[in-house]
Amino acid sequence: MEIHIRSRHYLRSNSVKKILKELKKMFDPLDIDAAFKGKRFELLKTGPYDIILVEDAPMIFMPDGKPFLTVKGALSTKPNQRVVVVDTGATRFVVNGADVMRPGIVQADPGIEAGDLVVVVEESHKKALAIGRALVSGDDMSGESGKAIKSIHYVGDTLWNIV
């Protein structure tokens, strides 16, 4: 997918506060302020979704009109909610943009509901690999067969390399 930037501008502090408040609601115990407070936010209006650069790095994007962490954002904040852990065998497929299949899932946040955006991390170091949309609830993620997460952003894609 190619991303065409239609406009870009810096965000005012009240807009930044709203975005941070939304992220805090989603990732409750995570210290969002420590990662983003006092930094420069720039909004990129693009075709598929808006992207927010924090100090020139794509840290937040808005696939549903609401803010969510990008892979770089998840790597810097290390969320522990809305997280799905995949085994080593699934890692190479996920970083190449593949959807996440049930057999590769080791653990999933039970609070995830079908349709939620989730952070996919690898098992050994808990590093973020992708952002995807849950196709099933967190409790139904692991199993013998079937797709559990539709990948929408991953390491090395156009959003990762936007700047």
In order of their start, the domains of the chain are 5-77 (3.10.450.120), 83-154 (2.30.130.10)
Largest CA distance in the chain: 48
Instruction: Please write the tens of the pLDDT for every residue from 8-60.
Output: 999 999 999 999 999 988 887 777 878 888 899 999 998 788 999 999 999 99
Pairing mode of beta strands 41-46, 57-62: unpaired
Residue 52 per-residue DSSP state: E
82-140, pLDDT tens digit by residue?
999 999 999 999 999 999 999 999 999 999 999 999 999 999 999 999 999 999 999 99
The verdict on pTM exceeding 0.85 is: yes
Q: Which residues pair with 32 in a beta bridge?
A: none
pLDDT value at residue 1? 59
Report the relative pairing of strands 57-62 and 68-69 from DSSP bridges: antiparallel
